Amino acid sequence: DIQMTQSPASLSASLGETISIECRASEDIYSNLAWYQQKSGKSPQLLIYAANRLQDGVPSRFSGSGSGTQYSLKISGMQPEDEGDYFCLQGSKFPYTFGAGTKLELK
């Protein structure tokens, strides 16, 4: 199975700060990577797919990049509503595997 190593496990950011979350795959996943946001007590929501494609309706301050085994999610200008947990997911091979998650809080 492909292992997804996500970092950091937690992050505290100030209003307007730019932050990055990383995911490293145990093998090449050919940009078959998605990012999901989960707010407290809610279901996850799709942010980014194919490593860098923004899902409809997601604010443009969210962006994704990467290739091969290294991927990142960037939030350009932290907003209060961005607090929550973030997960990467590899979709290159079954079984699909998620990263362990990053808890993002507003400082």
Partner 1 sequence: VQLVESGGGLVQPGKSLKLSCSASGFTFSSYGMHWIRQAPGKGLDWVAYISSSSGTVYADAVKGRFTISRDNAKNTLYLQLNSLKSEDTAIYYCASSMYYYVMDAWGQGASVTVSS
Contact set with partner 1 (CB under 8 A): 1, 32, 34, 36, 38, 43-46, 49-50, 55, 85, 87, 89-91, 94-101
Minimum separation from the CB atom of position 42 to partner 1 (A): 8
> What is the closest distance, in whole angstroms, from the C-beta atom of residue 16 to partner 1 in the complex?
28
By beta-carbon proximity to partner 1, the closer residue of 31 and 72 is 31
Return the number of the residue (17 or 24) whose C-beta is nearest partner 1. Answer: 24
Q: Which is nearer to partner 1, 78 or 99 (CB)?
A: 99
Task: Provide the residue type at 65 as one letter.
Answer: S
Q: How far is the CB of 63 from partner 1 (least distance, A)?
A: 17
Q: How many CA atoms lie within 13 A of 66 on its CB side?
A: 29
State how far the Cα of 82 lies from the Cα of 4, in Å rounded to an integer: 22
Q: Which two tokens stand for residue 32?
A: 């078959």
**DSSP-assigned states of every residue in 12-66:** EE-TT-EEEEEEEESS--TT-EEEEEE-TTS--EEEEETTTEEPTT--TTEEEEE
The smaller minimum CB distance to partner 1, of residues 83 and 85, is found at 85
Q: How far is the CB of 94 from partner 1 (least distance, A)?
A: 5
